[in-house]
Structure 1
Amino acid sequence: MSPDGKAAARPLDGVRVLAVENFVAAPIASMWLADAGAEVVKIEEPGKGDQSRHMAPFKPDEAGRAQGLSFVRTNRNKRSVTLNLKTEDGKRVFRELAARADVVIENLRPGVMDGLGLGWSTLQALNPRLVYVAVSGFGHADTLPSPYTEYPAFDIVAQALSGLMYRPEGAHERPLYLGFSLGDIQAGMVAIQGTLLALLQRGVTNRGQKVDVSLYDATLVLNELPITLYGATGQQARPGVHAVTAPFGAYRTADGYIVIAVLGEHVWHRFCHAIGMPQLREDPRFADGVARNRNLAGLNACIQPWLDQRQRAEAVDLLVAAGVPASRVNQVEDIFACPHAAAREMLVTLDDPTWGAVRVPGSPIKMSDAPGIPLQPPPRLGEHNADVLGRWLGYSAAQAAALTGGAAA
């Protein structure tokens, strides 16, 4: 409840979003907008829909149609409307919806929406207050052109170009894919930030604008410390270790791995005290973070015997009690038993009509005066045709069915 006793609203209640999206980057951004209260209407091709509906692993729905688990990941709390944007009727209805929307978010190839007559310049003329968010591999030429603009890109391309595939331990032998959609998720986060900044500025100027997000750009900034180090000194950061400090990484104990994070000399002094080796503070090899990083083999030889004598829980408890950031290294299954994840509601359950109860990540944003996120399952293809076209445009159920390809699938 708010201080005046009224039910608290979610931050984006009343904001209308049209999403023309596939896979992960734009869908995860629009999902977070929906979590925050926006009405997100996902525009999908009749009979087909988002590509992730058709990606393995699958489960058959009640009609025997395969439903991909990937779609569950990034589409909760949305509404689905089917429109064929290659037809004049479909384009007309989309333009009518865009005229009443606050945000359009899309991650089609650059130029596709323009080719359909539904790009930024067209929609801005219809709705000057519209915020148009475009997510692509290398950005749009009308904002800041790139020689790579026309290249296809998935997440792994952004990881490769940003230098992140040379950051893990062992990457000096072969660059390593990080094993998850880091570039897509980071681009989604940047798209959310750009959307909110544009909405905030619109409150001052009464005009929308285009927000242009590149997977490569968004992922490059994650590599900021090695880039800054090279920019200042010409030195390459070594794979698998922090660029300017030590100990900072994964260490083996008697029963598994923990991480230790020493950053700053005050933490180094605490660490030496915690492991019972105050003399290390006076060793010239370990005078500061850069020196410790340079003499990492010698430092690890001093530390490892202490770790070998302790199990993970004891080592972490001793380090944390001394004010040294440390933790066990979790497998995914460990997260499902983690007391923090439970207490902070970071695993929530979606009741999907095909997949059943699926536990998925919750929202990392916790707010003091906003209710928790709703947990509506991802929509069936075309599930909200009549509802959205009726409320937004005043169409009858028969008109909506004629324009969207019929009933939900």
Structure 2
Amino acid sequence: MTGPLEGVRVIDLTQALSGPYCTSILADYGADVIKVEPPRGDMIRHTGPFADDDAHHDFGNVFQNANRNKRSIVLDLKTEAGRAVLIELVRGADALVENFSTGVMDRLNLGYELLAEINPRLVYTSIRGFGDPRGGASPYAHWPAFDIVAQAMGGLMSITGPDSDTRVRVGSGIGDTVPGLFAALGTVMALFEAKTSGLGQYVDTAMTDGVLAVSEIVVNVFDATGTSPAPMGNALQGFAPFDTLRARDGEVALGAPHNAQWAKLCDIMGRPDLISDDRFDSDHHRWENREAVYDIVGAWVGRHTVSELVDLLGGKVPLAPVLDAAAIFADPHFAVRGMLPEVENPRTGRTTHVTGPVTKLTRTPGRVRHRAPLLGEHTAEILAEIGFDAERLVPLVAAETTHP
């Protein structure tokens, strides 16, 4: 079986996480993603974690996860030879994705307008902290950004934390990966439209915009009330019970904010009297009387172990144990869903787990076919494919690479 993007060629000029995450999604679903790296390589190659016996420290797990299914070519785009090869790659490409700072590609004479003249059907996608002026000229367009900047200015940090005095960053790189998801979706939409029109277009994604889009409570609450929502720990405004609760031997996440769920929970707790109690007889009343709700439910939860709660509530009321990494690796859900596939780690000779494709297509599924590439591993191969004398050009455009 082939992926739905089989036959699509993507030139990947991205580094770090947001861009590589975007292009890894395209690669998972069959696109031929050619990762163009500078002679020093993608900066994220040297970011751990690394296995204890990995003496090279140039193929970290973050890089492996975000660059599986890709091929690597080394081009120095500051040289004429490197730019000439990139232009030839663009001639036969369907899409190009980059996440340089605003203006970098233009200064290299590789901006969208020039490349669109060379290949009018090219879909050109950029991911920047505050977007590109082509999509809307932000006053912060030239500001550099990381995940934490996007989370802060996109509103997510304003609603995350135990209370309004302690704003925290979400533990994973949401400020990178969510914009990467939006950029992948935008790229696919533009590719779909190009099938009809024969023309590509510019696809502009701002990291801060992506974060705001998934921080919907920021917009919804302020628009309705004129006040800015504050962090509430693991609770959600307007919903009760909806929180993490302490069991005898751990924590569980529990949500039963609507009447049908509340009624099931009350029956399982042996408290059917609470269903008709006028303090708890509607979603809104339970929210208004949430302290009483949590006193009752919290006391019941606290008398049980996590395992007992799973047996009592699992499949009946929305409930989940709070799984750490070890528990996730042992849980049958992630195994049967193919969410932890293994690929080779060329630096240790063992295998490495990466996250698998999330969206399951039954006829043309995405899959992790091979590990991330070593730096410049496919330079000669790719040059030969586009008609260059690889033996002559490799020293001009690529760094000397090392292989295990």
TM-score (norm 1): 0.92
Q: Contact 2:98–2:125 (CA<8 Å) still a contact in 1?
A: yes
Q: In structure 2, do the counterparts of structure 1 residues 234 and 274 end up closer, same or farther at CA, with 3 Å as the change threshold? A: farther
- 1:187-233: CA deviations, max 9, x gaps? 11101110110011111211111110111000101111342122112
Supply the AA of the counterpart residue of 2:92.
Answer: R
Supply the AA of the counterpart residue of 1:357.
Answer: T
Tell me what 2:41 maps to. 49
Residue number among 217, 221, 235 corresponding to 1:229 in the alignment: 221
Residue number among 295, 299, 307 corresponding to 1:305 in the alignment: 299
Residue number among 196, 210, 221 corresponding to 2:188 in the alignment: 196
Indicate yes or no: 2:1 matched with 1:15.
Answer: no
Tell me what 2:327 maps to. 334
Supply the AA of the counterpart residue of 1:149.
Answer: A
**Structure 2, gaps ≥5 residues long:** none
Indicate yes or no: 2:286 matched with 1:292.
Answer: yes
Supply the AA of the counterpart residue of 2:335.
Answer: A
User: What displacement does 1:318 show?
Assistant: 1.9
Tell me what 2:308 maps to. 314
Q: In structure 2, do the counterparts of structure 1 residues 172 and 115 end up closer, same or farther at CA, with 3 Å as the change threshold? A: same
Tell me what 2:134 maps to. 142
Residue correspondence of structure 1 range 164-203 to structure 2 within 5 A? 164-203=156-195
Question: Following the alignment from structure 2 to structure 1, what is the Cα–Cα distance between the partners of residues 186 and 163?
Answer: 33
**Structure 1, gaps ≥5 residues long:** 1-7
Indicate yes or no: 2:19 matched with 1:26.
Answer: yes
Supply the AA of the counterpart residue of 1:325.
Answer: P
Q: In structure 2, do the counterparts of structure 1 residues 113 and 299 end up closer, same or farther at CA, with 3 Å as the change threshold? A: same
Q: Contact 1:385–1:400 (CA<8 Å) still a contact in 2?
A: no
User: What displacement does 1:334 show?
Assistant: 0.5
What is the RMSD of the two structures over their aligned residues, measured on CA atoms? 2.0
User: What displacement does 1:296 show?
Assistant: 1.9
Q: In structure 2, do the counterparts of structure 1 residues 66 and 49 end up closer, same or farther at CA, with 3 Å as the change threshold? A: closer
Question: Following the alignment from structure 2 to structure 1, what is the Cα–Cα distance between the partners of residues 91 and 44?
Answer: 28
Q: In structure 2, do the counterparts of structure 1 residues 163 and 62 end up closer, same or farther at CA, with 3 Å as the change threshold? A: closer
Identity of aligned residues (%): 37
- 1:25-50: CA deviations, max 9, x gaps? 0001111111111111111112x010
User: What displacement does 1:65 show?
Assistant: 6.5
Residue number among 348, 353, 358 corresponding to 2:341 in the alignment: 348
Question: Following the alignment from structure 1 to structure 2, what is the Cα–Cα distance between the partners of residues 32 and 345?
Answer: 15
Indicate yes or no: 2:282 matched with 1:261.
Answer: no
Residue correspondence of structure 1 range 85-124 to structure 2 within 5 A? 85-124=77-116
Residue correspondence of structure 1 range 71-82 to structure 2 within 5 A? 71-82=63-74
Supply the AA of the counterpart residue of 2:189.
Answer: L
Indicate yes or no: 2:188 matched with 1:215.
Answer: no
TM-score (norm 2): 0.93
Q: In structure 2, do the counterparts of structure 1 residues 65 and 57 end up closer, same or farther at CA, with 3 Å as the change threshold? A: closer
Tell me what 1:363 maps to. 357
Supply the AA of the counterpart residue of 1:271.
Answer: L
- 1:370-401: CA deviations, max 9, x gaps? 2551431111111111111111x212231332
